[in-house]
Amino acid sequence: MEKEFTLREAVQLAITTEQLGAYFYERMERKFAEDKELKEIFAQLAKDEKTHEAQFQNILKSVPEKDEEPKRHEAWQFLRATAISKFFRKESFKDTEDISDRDEALGRALAFEKDTLQFYKAMSDVFENSEPIEKLADAERQHVLTLMKVITTEAEFRGLQDKW
């Protein structure tokens, strides 16, 4: 029988995801250092990911070491399915040196943020009424919206404080 995916593992995966995101954005910040706007976008995203990591570290403190019963209901199954997304594996970040232009870099960032948002929404369904998880999902949603705005209108990215 396959090992059950626990809430603690989900939160730990979220922490790893934020670490990988910050790593990716820092690499893109260095890669596009000559492009002031793109450098600032990736610097802000890296900063936001580090903030999210700290928030998940705090959430982890409240999650029990062991789950009492197996989680088989649909919300758990969806959470498990999103956890095996290609973006949650370290190999996904190995080909970043192949990213050569603005559109590709922003597109990769958008795909990462969309996958992350889906995972956090699935976590939110499992945590049920968890304000911290909802706020983190909202932050990722804002990243998606803002990246889309930058991609489609070449508008300036200002991070989580940016509102349409």
pLDDT of residue 45: 94
Tokens 């948002």, residue located: 117
The CATH superfamily holding the domain 7-61+71-161 is Ferritin, core subunit, four-helix bundle (1.20.1260.10)
Mean pLDDT for the stretch of residues 31-54? 93
Q: What is the mean pLDDT of residues 109-138?
A: 86
pTM: 0.81
Predicted confidence (pLDDT) at residue 92 exceeds the cutoff of 50: yes
Does residue 164 have a pLDDT over 50?
Answer: no
Domain boundary assignment for the chain: 7-61+71-161
* Most confidently predicted of 93-102, 119-128, 144-153: 144-153
